[in-house]
Structure 1
């Protein structure tokens, strides 16, 4: 199951939304940091389109963990990003860069990701882009 998680993150770093979507189950539950749960590939794709307008990100220092039985996984990484366009309710964007530790948690079924939960410290991000 670690292979599907690696493919998911490889696709993220390549800017390959279709590659990311191919790793997801149709009924994927996407738990957004500080946000609502979005269900389904269409909702996930809409979220990614929004993110790609506002942020350019590349993940490094990736460590992937798999729970016994292959139904759960987690990853720890560093988000290296550039804030491209102002996201409503957040500081104004003017090309600020940031480096932020983050983590994701996954549920898996039949070789597909059924749940994605991503966490990072929003206050840390706001401090970095506000400096």
Structure 2
């Protein structure tokens, strides 16, 4: 993939996320996608990623803004920086009680690409900042 193709794929990935189009979002992943969860473990496979997203979409309403995408010259890797605008809707296990709290959270992600799809995504954000925002 070229750098431009990679940047477009990541832009499409976030556009599908923001549109709530989970079919398109998941179709941009390899079958064996590796998902590194912020301050958590690694899940492997599109099915595991779909289950993760179902939980996220149930518990949180999020939209990403100020998205900046960077790709390596060979297009094999990419990174994105963005701001998450969210609402905590349903209490997630082990986290503070949800009461519709809104939050604004800087975040980032790293990607590996293979066969014109996302083969790995690693998401990062400051969990302590998020907890402080929803606990206030």
**TM-score exceeds 0.5:** yes
Please give the per-residue CA displacement for 1:16-50, whole angstroms capped at 9, x wherever unaligned.
Answer: 11111111111100001011111010000000000
After superposition, the CA RMSD in angstroms is: 0.5
Query: Which segment drifts farther, 29-38 or 42-51?
Result: 29-38
User: Does residue 64 of the first structure (1) align with residue 69 of the second (2)?
Assistant: yes
User: Does residue 33 of the first structure (1) align with residue 38 of the second (2)?
Assistant: yes
User: Does residue 55 of the first structure (1) align with residue 60 of the second (2)?
Assistant: yes
Structure 1: stretches of 5+ with no match in the other structure: none
Q: Which residue among 88, 101, 108 is the counterpart of 1:96?
A: 101
Please give the per-residue CA displacement for 1:43-88, whole angstroms capped at 9, x wherever unaligned.
Answer: 0000000001100000000000001200000000000000000001
User: Following the alignment from structure 1 to structure 2, what is the Cα–Cα distance between the partners of residues 20 and 5?
Assistant: 10
- Structure 1 ranges of 4+ moved more than 2 A: none
- Aligned positions, number: 131
Equivalent residue, structure 2, for 1:24: 29
Q: What is the TM-score normalised by the length of structure 2?
A: 0.95
User: Following the alignment from structure 1 to structure 2, what is the Cα–Cα distance between the partners of residues 25 and 88?
Assistant: 28
Residue 2 of structure 1: how far off its partner (Å): 1.1
User: Does residue 109 of the first structure (1) align with residue 132 of the second (2)?
Assistant: no
Residue 109 of structure 1: how far off its partner (Å): 1.0
Q: What is the TM-score normalised by the length of structure 1?
A: 0.98
Please give the per-residue CA displacement for 1:102-123, whole angstroms capped at 9, x wherever unaligned.
Answer: 0000000121110000000000
